[in-house]
Structure 1
Amino acid sequence: MAVMFFPEPSNVPEQPLVQTILEPLLDNFQYWFNEATVLLTAPESNCLDVDNRRTLIERIRVAEKEVATVRVLLAATDGQAGIEPLMVRDWHHLVAQYWQVARQVRQTNYSIQPGDDST
């Protein structure tokens, strides 16, 4: 995991600015990772390939741990730590992948109506 530290106090953004940007961003990622875990462990997601679902769940768990670590480092350094942009990009890609999977689950589950004998 890549976390940036600001070694020179003169280079450190004001703590409120860092908190204003990073904390809501981390909250947002945490929210979507939780939503993904709920969906991927729900019976509705049984329409997905088991291995792909398992891999996605594992990637989400790793990302959740990374978010938690960044929160701890941010708190421990009084806001003098930041997130490597590539890490944010990877988390964003993971959330976007979840959105695609969620759409697939919805489409599959809504296309099968109660009493539908085509399955």
Structure 2
Amino acid sequence: MRDSNLPGSDLLKTVLEPLLEDFQYWFARSRNFLETEHLSFMSEQEQSGLLERVKQAQEELNTAKMLFTATEGQVGIDMATLMPWHQLVQECWSVAMRFRSQQLDGQDGDSK
């Protein structure tokens, strides 16, 4: 539902701008993680494939942000574009949580 006190471009800036910044943050963090960590529960090919999908999403995101900025917030982004980004971030979170869980399990094993 739309707040009738906010014009369309202000609404887009209020909602979309922080969302794009969040995606930018999580993709950068995921990329760094995938480039620097060895994930024993994934094959090299799986890890490389996930990294490539993050890089592709970063490129798409950068393009969307440039359009958004160039049009001074007059352009929105289709949900068909946002949903795969959201799913990719969730996938990266799951991988990072599994990695962290394995690290913690390894620490518990060291103290026994």
TM-score w.r.t. length of structure 2: 0.82
Q: Match for residue 83 of structure 1? A: 77
Higher relative contact order, structure no. (Cα contacts within 8 Å, ≥ 6 residues apart): 1
Match of 1:74 among 48, 52, 68: 68
Q: How does 1:43-58 map to 2 (within 5 A)?
A: 43=37, 45-47=38-40, 48-58=42-52
CA shift, 1:77, in A, is 1.9
Task: Name whichever structure is richer in helix by fraction.
Answer: 2
Q: Match for residue 23 of structure 1? A: 17
Q: Residue 32 of structure 1 aligns to which amino acid in structure 2?
A: W
| CA-based RMSD | 1.8
Which whole-Å deviations, capped at 9, do the CAs of 1:6-62 have from their partners, x for residues lacking one? xxxxxxx5322111111100001111111111211223x332321111001100011
Identity of aligned residues (%): 37
Structure 2: runs of 5 or more not aligned:
1-6
Q: Match for residue 93 of structure 2? A: 99
Equivalent-residue separation in structure 2 for 1:57 and 1:75 (angstroms): 27
Equivalent-residue separation in structure 2 for 1:52 and 1:64 (angstroms): 18
Mapped pair 1:64 → 2:54: no
Q: What is the DSSP-based 3-state SS (H/G/I as helix, E as strand, rest coil) of the residue aligned with 1:19?
A: helix
Which whole-Å deviations, capped at 9, do the CAs of 1:37-93 have from their partners, x for residues lacking one? 1211223x3323211110011000111111110111112222221111011110000
Structure 1: runs of 5 or more not aligned:
1-12
Equivalent-residue separation in structure 2 for 1:67 and 1:19 (angstroms): 16
How many pairs align?
103
